Structure 1
């Protein structure tokens, strides 16, 4: 009886052991499945990580290429800026040269217009008794700029500037004659032909600053008469110096 009881107890233990082993096997299978799933996830993570590495390498290469392009662009822009600066300097130099040329041309034109003023006039008939007023020179040798009037004996400045005037008078016989160069009514210089001998010659010159419209003429001061030839020897001349 005791043996049977022990056998029953042993069988019961074996059944429990089988159930425990079955449960353990089930747990083991579940664990293996979970491990397999984890392995799959790890593999997926490895694959994704590899893709990320490849994308990172690709991005790095693209970034490096973009950096090279940016550096090339910056270098090109610097070269363009330097070329532009050189071009601007050349343009500025050209503009300066043109301005200097324009100023020189303006100065040359101004000088050219001013230097085209001059006259020489004289008398071709002698007078033994002339003794007063303006000496009118009716014979015009040159009258560049038409500043001299043979009807009044006066020169009128057509432009501002510094003018040179020169007079020559030949006395009639043994007479004395004194003449003055007059600027707007003001006597500036005097010439004389003295009676130390026959047909003496007197000369003088004046440099006068004139404004446009100023007048210069020759006027009697003292003595009388003047001598002349058909080619003038008693003359009045003037020209624009600058």
Structure 2
């Protein structure tokens, strides 16, 4: 815009200088020039007319310049207003474009979702078509079956008539049988009363027998615990006898047990915290692990009593490898699982008892669940 205004001013200045050069031949003339006295009266009149015309032209040019300046100012103001409007329109257009871009993105997302939904709907339509085809086939089969059933029903009507006739005959026979039964029931009432008395007597006898069997079972379980303790004692005695025959410098033996019952133990190492014997200090009651202090042949024995009809399986483990397993089934309470293994150990090998399956174990203040090991050669 500034360039346009400068071009207009240059144009006006050029027009003004051109007018001056045409009237004065590019020489500043003065009405008091000394040579004017020599000009004829005719030329004076012509020159005056030219001066008057030049003055009129200059005045018109000045007016035109002022008018043009006013127009330029008006144009500049309108141009400023137009620029402001354009700026507002541009900012508004940018906001609208931003909103439109957001709407376009939203429409793209919706379009993608609609495409996915369309794919799912097409799959569902295909499945529905398949189901309709299957339903049509099924309906055809049903129609065939209905026809067969209709034929069968017609046949059944005849059979029903025959059944009604037989039913009438049976009703008559039933009445006769009821009469005979009423007489028989009266005659057998006394017999039924005697049978009820015998039944009550048998129930009392069964109750007494059940109580006796339960007592026998409890006594059996107690005896089993005693036998288990006796076996452990005999095993300990045998170990002590073996140790008495060994070289005192080569004696390694231990027996440990647990003195508190657990109903929830179900993983990891079974720690026998109560040490009965620990020759050679190979057994650690804090970890439940026996570490061989020397190379040799060892015998290990474990007794594990399951708690109140809960399965219990434990393994004797050498360096994390299971060697033998005990089992205490849940078909009766406090079943005892025992097992023994002979192992060749190197110095530093570790042996312990590890949970395999089930949960809990039973013991007493005098240990019933025990772990024993000794060097035999």
TM-score w.r.t. the length of structure 2 is: 0.35
Residue 320 of structure 2 corresponds to: 185
Deviations 1:74-97 (Å, cap 9, x if unpaired)? xxxxxxxxxxxxxxxxxxxxxxxx
The higher-RCO structure (CA 8 Å, 6+ apart) is 1
> Could you tell me which residue of structure 2 aligns to residue 132 of structure 1?
267
Please name the residue that 2:293 is paired with.
158
Q: CA deviation at 1:186?
A: 0.7
C-alpha RMSD of matched pairs (Å): 1.4
| Equivalent in 118, 123, 148 of residue 283 of structure 2 | 148
Offset at residue 113 of structure 1 (A): 2.0
1:234 and 1:189 map into 2 onto residues whose CA distance is: 16
Corresponding residue for 2:345?
210
Instruction: Give the alignment of 1:45-194 within 5 angstroms.
Output: 111-114=247-250, 116-194=251-329
Aligned to 1:198: 333
1:4-23 superposed matches below 5 A: none
SS of equivalent to 1:222: strand
1:229 corresponds to which residue? 364
How far apart, in 1, do the equivalents of 2:275 and 2:374 lie? 14
Distance across 2 between alignment mates of 1:147 and 1:168:
19
Quick one: distance in 2 between partners of 1:208 and 1:196? 32
**C-alpha distance in 1, partners of 2:327/2:283?**
23
**In structure 1, distance between residues paired with 2:248 and 2:281:** 16
CA distance in 2, matches of 1:220, 1:189: 12
Structure 2: 5+ residue stretches without partners:
1-245
Q: CA deviation at 1:112?
A: 3.4
Paired residues in the alignment total: 133
Name stretches of at least 5 consecutive residues in structure 1 with no aligned partner: 1-109
Kindly indicate which of the two structures has a greater share of residues assigned to strand: 1
| Distance of 2:247 and 2:257 partners within structure 1 | 27
Q: Which protein is richer in helix relative to its size?
A: 2
Matched position secondary structure for 2:249: helix
